[in-house]
Amino acid sequence: MRHYPPGRSILTALPADILVHILDRLPDPSDRKAWRLVCREFLRADYLQRRSLRLLRHGSLPAILRRYGSLERLDLSACPRIDDSAIRAAFYGIRLHALRSVNLSRRSALRCFGLGFMVNACPALETVDLSYCSGVGDREMAALARAPLLRELNVTKCLGVTDVGLARVAVGCSKLERLDLKWCLEISDIGIDLLVKKCRALKDLDISYLKVTNASLQSISSLEKLEVLSMVACSLIDDTGLSYLENGNNCLRSINFSRCDSVSSVGFSSIIKAHSHLKKIYVGHCFPEVAPLFLRKLKDLENSLESIRLDGFHLSSSVLRTIGIHCTNLLEIGLGKCDGITDEGISELSSSCPRLRTVDLTCCRLITDSSLIAIANSCKKLQCLRLESCPGITEKGLGRIGDSCSHLAEIDLTDCGIDDEALKCLSKCCNLIELKLGLCPRITNEGLVYIGSNCKDLQVLDLYRCTGVGDDGLAAIGGGCRKLRKINICYCTQITDRGLEHLCGLDLLTDLEMREVVRVTGAGVTAVAVGCRSLVELDMKKCRSVDDPAGREAGASPRGVGGGYELALRAAWERLQKLKLPTWLSPLLSREVLQMLPDLAKVGEVLQMLPPGSPEAPPLD
């Protein structure tokens, strides 16, 4: 009989394939982390099993890529200071035949040299996300063109990309199926025409905010496999362009023409007539009222339509009744900022569409608890409810939502004026993931205790200007919501260092907004920066009470106020990718830290030094 040393499990003797099979049954990240720490055999099993990885620091990237040979998806979007030298060090001398997807979103320091190294090392590359990489232009697109198997590419707001760069990708990556060109303002009809001629397999195309004309839609209409087309705010496109789609060869399933202000309801009705299998229709802020012809055409989509957004329209109760009658299979409806929405209309709609999962009633100021009761009675599988600036709702309506909608995962109650009793009712929704309570000053610590006790899966919490919330409320959240990733406590003036200390144990917290939390000192800022090891975005503008004797005692700065900030910056510097500081802090920081600040901006990260009195950013979105 084989004997095992004390403290060593018999599991370590199992073959690697058995250990991998066991690891497959551990979906929770914390459990997988604990597994890796048991012994070397368990760690090797993780090397073999892991298919997806998201990094927060680039220093370990070279070693990780050499160990995890089975990686298929690599996310570097939260990893600061990714530039050509970091990519070269990571991908030099290796071939990652399994790696198919790389996310480099917002890594603005990356250039063609680094992208070329990555493409050469990943011969099976199929998906690349370069969205919001301000340094990406035509040369970088040329580097990507050497990935012949590329199927999905996102270059949203890569302002340097022109028709030339698009042409390079179109010629080199003819298998492209999904392409996002949103906000690439230098792309014209010429680039779109060449793209269509070379990439005949396109299924999903986003040309939102481009200055293209009807000529682009004439080209796009020939894409036989196109299913998803987004063209938000393409103001040069009108009904003539839509007629090309009406008579084209597409098999469209989803269209987004929001804010195309030259398009009429007549032109859009022609699209519906030609594509009877549409599942998603987004036409918000296009024309002021829904024409009868448009409503009649919706009947043709009775069996297929699942999502419709009509934001900004004037919609009467009779219109909502008609939509409900014709679209009984709806899963999502968007009515944000619509005039004329009343309890009667919502009641008619919800009773006809019991399958609704997402309802957006943002700024529908006429609705009351009656609407919530109607939704709760009919839509038992509701998952997302947006009620920002709906002052007529109270704990009565939210109580019915809490009792009936157990699947609710996201709710926005910004500027609704609710109180602790409403949160008590809402806490029955134990599957909540995202909760927005900004501009609700009547909420206190008591309400957050209800949330912390029952909503264990909460990941996003917005408490913007909830002035009744203090340290005990954060204690309840920090102790109960261990999966929290984002929290906004801007202008919560009762919060002190003790409150921030309760957030220090949140291992998954990545984003903290705390503008003008005036009672917080450098000690509190430092505690968060050191304790929240996943923190990558920190906004601490107008935190004027950082006198920080603790920081000075630690020797961080001999010049007073900067001490706490210095400890915070030093503790989190390797992972921070977004940092907002007040300008008055600059003279108080040490020379070493001041030298770091330009480095943060140099590699393309977001550094803001805002003067007092600057316009405030909106609540967490």
The answer as to whether 214 is a domain residue is no
Residues 45 and 59 in one domain: no
Cβ–Cβ < 8 Å for 515, 489 = no
Residues 542 and 528 placed together within one structural domain of the fold? yes
**CATH assignment at residue 310:** 3.80.10.10
Structural contact between residues 214 and 247, judged by C-beta atoms closer than 8 angstroms = no
pLDDT at position 30? 73
Rounded CA gap, 335 and 10, in Å? 59
Q: What is the pLDDT of residues 581-600, one digit of tens each?
A: 766 666 666 766 666 654 44
| pLDDT value, residue 619 | 35
CB atoms near residue 148 (< 10 Å): 12
Structure tokens at 27: 């979906």
Both 26 and 74 in a single domain? no
Specify which residues 118 forms β-bridges with: none
| Beta strands in 97-227, from DSSP E residues, in sequence order | 101-103, 127-129, 152-154, 178-180, 204-206
Q: What is the pLDDT of residues 498-515, one digit of tens each?
A: 999 999 989 899 999 999
Residue predicted with more confidence, 432 or 8: 432
Token pair, residue 199, equals 């990439």
Banded model confidence at residue 530, pLDDT cuts 50, 70, 90? confident
pLDDT grade, residue 9 (50/70/90)?
low
Q: Does 464 share its domain with 376?
A: no
Q: How confident is the model at residue 73 (pLDDT cuts 50, 70, 90)?
A: very high
Are 505 and 379 part of one and the same domain?
Answer: no
Q: Please indicate, yes or no, whether residues 352 and 432 belong to a single structural domain of this protein.
A: no
Of 547, 564, 582, which residue constitutes the final position of a domain? 547
**Among 380, 408, 436, which residue terminates a domain?**
408
Q: What is the CATH number of the domain that holds 17?
A: 1.20.1280
Confidence of residue 383 (pLDDT cuts 50, 70, 90): very high
pLDDT for 558 equals: 35
| HEC profile of 513-560 | ECCCCCECCHHHHHHHHHHCCCCCEEECCCCCCCCCHHHHHCCCCCCC
Rounded Cα gap, residues 512 and 498, in angstroms:
16
Q: Which domain covers residue 121, as residue numbers?
A: 54-202
Confidence of residue 570 (pLDDT cuts 50, 70, 90): low
pTM of the entire structure? 0.87
Specify the number of domains making up the chain: 4
- Look up residue 146 and give its DSSP letter: T
Checking if the pLDDT of 122 tops 60, the result is yes
CA distance 473 to 4: 49
Task: Say yes or no: 92 and 183 in one domain.
Answer: yes
> What is the C-alpha to C-alpha distance for residues 361 and 507, in angstroms, rounded to an integer?
34
Alpha carbons 516 and 505: distance in angstroms, whole number: 23
Which residue is associated with the tokens 């961080």?
556
Distances (CA, A) of 508 to 46, 504, 524, 529: 20, 10, 18, 13
- Cβ atoms of 488 and 620 within 8 Å: the answer is yes
Round the average pLDDT of the chain to a whole number and report it. Answer: 87
pLDDT band at 553, cuts 50/70/90? very low
Q: Taking Cα atoms as reference points, which of 30, 81, 27 lies closest to residue 59?
A: 81
User: Tens digits of per-residue pLDDT, 258-316?
Assistant: 999 999 988 989 899 889 899 999 999 998 888 888 888 898 998 999 999 999 999 99
Supply the DSSP symbol for 39.
Answer: -
Residue 562 has pLDDT above 80, yes or no: no
User: Looking at 184, 202, 220, which one is the last position of a domain?
Assistant: 202
Does the structure show a pLDDT above 70 at 467? yes
